[in-house]
């Protein structure tokens, strides 16, 4: 081994030691067991490099944040320019950056979802959304579906199928959970006491579970009839991931409030948002500054998101995501046929793909084997026996082929 290389490894072990000390031994162990016992360093389009220079095709993209590739150069260039012109601003002030981005989002998102409230984390935006629904309707009851995942904030965690949440007390009261995809269950749960009906229209962390198309329009109709606000969390499925700008375009039913995730900045800035109808904005007209967020609508972040939206519009990555996704799902289904014992099914839409394994253990080993074969993948939060594939939407057909190749190799060595 070269001297430089051994120095790097000892540096790495020192850093892992420091991580055990400052975070926890258990966190480091958890990360290593997932096959991610490296230090993330370089970024190159669809690839990420560890500190020793090993390349991985990034099929994690930090849960679908890097839809436009890692460290997208066009967004980085826009960001760099903005640094010397603006900063985060004072969060209570209207600003040009916020106003222009809000207009841009209203143009980008289909339908009459024209209004925006910015957040930092997914959970914060979900919390803002259900608060808006409660505040606007004057009702208390919230309905969520089983198998969802909306983040770690108070309302979000209360609405999620999150293991271990009972240790944080009884959480937010007034929440009913119904089975996803069951229109009859939705019909008997939704009433004129309901403020909001919350779901991810495609449950990424739960083997990309989708419902029949009629379910979405059925729930939409039930909500309309009862004055209930429909909330879709598209943190993972938004910005072209499933072959359309947003998954709700496949579903044929638009929500009243849409949650969008870090993909809004191409993964260059911690920003999320809730996008909602003009009807709901009346609440914020009457009650200004009732929901505040210091870093939400960060002026610099708004400029970054503007650059990202320019890039989305010029690349229109959803078209390729659809075609490449269809092909990839087909190839992976072929692998499932070949490895029936380990890989039980393949599901997904566009480039949001889930592989379901025989057990959590098998899924974990697959992540590790995939890593050895140059593929960065991660297990799902809700169903831990699933592994998600969420590459950059700008992958080439060759890179897409490499994904199924490497997955095949990983399966062979399981």
Exactly one of 57, 59, 109, 128 binds other proteins (CB under 8 A); that residue is 128
Q: What are phi and psi of 367, to 5 degrees?
A: -55, -45
Length of the chain as a residue count: 414
Q: Mask of contacts with other proteins, 133-152, x by CB under 8 A?
A: -xx----x----------xx
Sorted by sequence, the CB contacts under 8 Å of residue 90 that are 6+ apart come out as none
Inter-CA distances, 393 with 264, 310, 314, Å: 13, 15, 13
State how far the Cα of 16 lies from the Cα of 249, in Å rounded to an integer.
44
Residue 269 in contact with other proteins, rule: CB under 8 A: yes
Q: Which stretch binds other proteins (CB under 8 A): 162-170, 226-234, 247-255, 386-394?
A: 162-170
Residue 233 in contact with other proteins, rule: CB under 8 A: no
Sorted by sequence, the CB contacts under 8 Å of residue 223 that are 6+ apart come out as 190, 197, 229, 230, 256
Q: Which stretch binds other proteins (CB under 8 A): 199-207, 287-295, 332-340, 398-406?
A: 287-295
Exactly one of 9, 83, 221, 316 binds other proteins (CB under 8 A); that residue is 83
List, in sequence order, the alpha helices (H) in 23-45.
Answer: 25-33
State how far the Cα of 181 lies from the Cα of 66, in Å rounded to an integer.
29
The answer to whether 211 and 181 have CB atoms below 8 angstroms apart is: yes
Residue 305 in contact with other proteins, rule: CB under 8 A: no
Q: Which stretch binds other proteins (CB under 8 A): 199-207, 262-270, 348-356, 401-409?
A: 262-270
Query: Quick one: 161 or 219, whose CB is closer to other proteins?
Result: 161
Inter-CA distances, 394 with 156, 262, 267, 288, 407, Å: 31, 17, 14, 40, 19
Return the residues of window 332-391 that contact other proteins according to CB under 8 A. Answer: 376, 378
Residue 5 in contact with other proteins, rule: CB under 8 A: no
Residue 18 in contact with other proteins, rule: CB under 8 A: yes
Could you say which DSSP state residue 167 is in?
Answer: G
Residue 74 in contact with other proteins, rule: CB under 8 A: no
Residue 109 in contact with other proteins, rule: CB under 8 A: no
Exactly one of 74, 106, 226, 358 binds other proteins (CB under 8 A); that residue is 106
Q: Mask of contacts with other proteins, 42-71, x by CB under 8 A?
A: xx----x--x------x-xxxx-xx---xx
Residue 257 in contact with other proteins, rule: CB under 8 A: no
């Amino acid at each position: 081994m070269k001297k430089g290389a051994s120095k790097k490894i000892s540096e790495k072990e020192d850093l892992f030691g420091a991580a055990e000390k400052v975070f926890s031994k258990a966190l480091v162990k958890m990360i290593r067991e997932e096959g991610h016992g490296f230090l993330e360093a370089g970024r190159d389009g669809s690839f990420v490099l560890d500190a020793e220079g090993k390349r991985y095709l990034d099929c994690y993209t930090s849960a679908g944040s890097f839809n436009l590739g890692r460290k997208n150069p066009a967004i980085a260039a826009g960001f760099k320019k903005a640094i010397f012109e603006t900063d985060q601003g004072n969060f209570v002030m209207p600003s040009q950056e916020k106003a222009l981005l809000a207009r841009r989002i209203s143009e980008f998102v289909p339908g009459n979802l024209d209004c925006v409230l910015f957040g930092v984390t997914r959970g914060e935006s979900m919390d803002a959304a259900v608060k808006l629904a409660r505040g606007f309707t004057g009702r208390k009851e919230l309905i969520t579906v089983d198998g969802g995942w909306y983040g770690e904030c108070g309302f979000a965690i209360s609405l999620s199928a999150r293991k271990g949440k009972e240790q944080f007390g009884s959480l937010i009261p007034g929440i009913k959970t119904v089975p996803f995809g069951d229109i009859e269950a939705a019909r008997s749960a939704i009433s004129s006491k309901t403020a909001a009906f919350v779901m991810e229209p495609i449950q990424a962390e739960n083997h990309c579970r989708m419902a029949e198309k009629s379910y979405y329009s059925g729930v939409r109709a039930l909500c309309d009839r009862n004055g209930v606000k429909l909330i879709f969390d598209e943190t993972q499925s938004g910005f072209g991931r499933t072959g359309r700008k947003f998954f709700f375009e496949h579903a044929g039913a638009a929500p009243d409030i849409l949650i969008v995730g870090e993909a809004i900045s191409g993964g260059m800035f911690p920003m999320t948002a809730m996008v909602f109808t003009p009807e709901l904005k009346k609440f914020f007209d009457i009650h200004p500054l009732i929901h505040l967020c210091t870093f939400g609508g960060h002026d610099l972040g708004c400029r970054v998101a503007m650059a990202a939206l320019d890039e989305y519009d010029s690349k229109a990555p959803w078209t390729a995501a659809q075609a490449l996704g269809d092909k990839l799902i087909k190839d992976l289904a072929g692998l499932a046929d070949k490895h029936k014992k380990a890989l039980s099914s393949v599901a997904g839409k566009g480039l949001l793909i889930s592989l379901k394994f025989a057990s959590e253990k098998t899924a974990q080993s697959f992540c590790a084997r995939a890593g050895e074969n140059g593929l960065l993948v991660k297990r799902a939060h809700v169903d831990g026996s699933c592994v998600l594939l969420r590459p950059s939407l700008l992958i080439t057909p060759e890179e897409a082929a490499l994904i199924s190749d490497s997955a095949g190799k990983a399966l062979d060595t399981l």
